[in-house]
Amino acid sequence: MRVADDSDVAVLAALRRAWNEENAGTIIDDDGFVSVFTTWWEAERDTRTFFIIELDGVAIGMANIKTYDRMPSAGRSSSGVWGYVGNVFVLPGHRNAGVGEALMDALVAWAWDRGMEHLRLAPSPRSSSFYARLGFTSGAVVELNPS
């Protein structure tokens, strides 16, 4: 696993497209996707760290951590930093072979090395058991979605 940089935008966009097409069950006709993805990358890269996992030099998965500096608290020099894990994806042909676990293990180690106090994520129903095996537990996060 390695941290992605500006030279990896097309690779990350291709992995994201593969994820979208898998979920859609079809090829998605969107000639402007790489441009939209690149704009998103440029807006997000200062607060996110992107990771790529490769096998024999070929990208087979990705993830990112969005870093949040918590609001200061009176009486504390720092209220801490936490990370939101997002966009974890492994190409279907590499699942159930330890790739996702290796990606997440490296990502978690990276976060702890940078002093993050905890990590959060929003698992899909399909991925809940995967994250549970890695030690992630349900927390007290609540949501409000538009009607």
Residue 75: predicted pLDDT: 85
Residue 141: predicted pLDDT: 75
Q: 128's torsion region: left (phi>0), alpha (psi -120 to 50) or beta?
A: alpha
In contact, 1 and 90? CB cutoff 8 Å:
no
Residue 77: predicted pLDDT: 75
Q: How far apart are CA 88 and CA 104, in angstroms?
A: 8
Give the chain's mean pLDDT.
Answer: 92
Summarised one tens digit per residue, pLDDT across range 114-145 is: 999 889 999 988 899 999 999 998 877 777 77
More confident site: 78 or 7? 7
Question: Confidence band (pLDDT; 50, 70, 90) for 61?
Answer: very high
Residue 142: predicted pLDDT: 72
pTM: 0.88
**What kind of architecture, by CATH, is found in domain 2-133?**
3-Layer(aba) Sandwich (3.40)
Instruction: List all residues 6 or more positions away from 66 whose beta carbon is below 8 Å from its beta carbon.
Output: 44, 47, 48, 83, 84, 86
Summarised one tens digit per residue, pLDDT across range 75-108 is: 877 778 999 999 999 999 999 999 999 999 999 9
Residue 134: predicted pLDDT: 93
Domain ranges of the chain: 2-133
Instruction: List all residues 6 or more positions away from 50 whose beta carbon is below 8 Å from its beta carbon.
Output: 3, 4, 8, 12, 62, 63, 64
Summarised one tens digit per residue, pLDDT across range 26-50 is: 999 999 999 999 999 999 999 999 9
